[in-house]
Amino acid sequence: MLHYKGYAGQIEIDAESGILFGRVLDIRDVVTFKGETVNQAKQAFQDSVDDYLEFCESLGQEPNKPFSGKLPFRTTPEHHHKIFIAASKTQKSINAWMDEVLVKAADEVINARQAKP
């Protein structure tokens, strides 16, 4: 995983073409990069992020921001109490418990949709 200016990128290998390639993760816009070596791919990732930021600035648009990892959540006091009890019974903080439960639910939904023909 590559990181630069708050953006993350992942490198993959195209064995047939003999190149490394990737894309910037967690944004709606498509920003890609490639190189023949790991160092070239890393530099291309940084160059692509810089180019993307410059392009957005030239258009007067805000660039997409990666996910922050912060997820505001509102619920009723009754639900909050139930969540607290459930987290306590597993000896986890509410955040840790919610992260585990929500990721599991998200994986189930994603996997169920991928399994459908």
Predicted local confidence at residue 67, as pLDDT: 75
Residue 117 pLDDT > 70, yes or no? Answer: no
Question: pLDDT tens-digit profile of 48-67?
Answer: 999 999 999 999 999 998 87
3-state secondary structure of 69: coil
* CB contact set of 12 (below 8 Å; sequence gap of 6+): 20, 21, 22
* CB contact set of 7 (below 8 Å; sequence gap of 6+): 24, 25, 26, 27, 49, 66
Q: Where in the chain are the domains?
A: 2-59, 77-115
Contact 2, 22 (CB under 8 A): yes
Residue 9 pLDDT > 70, yes or no? Answer: yes
Predicted local confidence at residue 32, as pLDDT: 97
